[in-house]
Structure 1
Amino acid sequence: MLELVQTPVTGKEDPSELTPQLAALSEFYRALNNRDLELMSHNWLQGEQAAMDNPLGGIRRGWEEIKTVYQRLFASPSEYWFEFYDYSLHEQDSLFYVVGRERGQFTAAGISLDMAIRTTRIFTFAQGQWRQVHHHGSIEDPELLQRYQQAVRGNHP
């Protein structure tokens, strides 16, 4: 039976106490929650194979397009934090992926939202380390999705 992990990955974990796969996942959340574009760049596979599909950026292909989404987020005055939980980890050869949920808080322009996102992240072993090659995030609740998009874009009802 597949194990579902409830202990959240926050980016605050000690990488030396994690498997290399979980260390790569933790590195992503450390980069995200600390607005660290250099670490984010280190986490993602550089090149055209990388792809991201999320509620804000639509589909982005290649690191250069993906990077623009993080640059915009990191430069914004919004406050946020995210963690990954309720997940399963799947491995095969030089690939692993995690399927689970993100939760967190996002605050912009006086609007604070409790976030709930279904998330899949895929990593490949390249250049001697695990690098993220794909991310898909979906917000199930249509009202939350609308409020999140409005808060990020600054056009509130």
Structure 2
Amino acid sequence: NWSPEHFKEYRLTSYDIFLHRRAHSQQALSRISCPVKLLYGTNSMVYPAKYSEELFESMQQAGLNVSLQAVSNAPHYLCVDHGNDVNPLIHDFIWACVNDKENITIPTSIVSPWNEALQEDGWCPDVKNEFDDEFITVSFVCLFRFLLTMEH
């Protein structure tokens, strides 16, 4: 996916993001108005447990309703590699945040916000087997284009 014309995007997403990251200010954190659940994998090579614990403490100090939970033996990509452990945690957290459980409507279908951008880059939603698309390479240019078009 990373051809020479996309090295700038590669560097941005895989190197610069870690090199130039900084902690969120208390002022920025205090603008979060919803409950927050932080999950981290105990085997993450990207962020050590200390990072999640410090973020948790900063969020508490900013007055947020925040909880922190470690997922044992999980790497950085929790949902991908430990979905059976993580998905119930996320479900239960979201369900606990729902105030009007009696009048909640369950959608009959799910549409990804990425469909249009992915189709522009060659994804075919009518393909029944996901492996039929294995030779299509989608670069992060698609992602950046989509993010630039989002309203903030």
Q: What range is the shorter-chain TM-score in?
A: under 0.3
Return the structure number with greater strand share. 1
Return the structure number with greater helix share. 2
TM-score of the superposition, structure 1-length normalised? Answer: 0.21
Q: Which has the larger radius of gyration?
A: 2
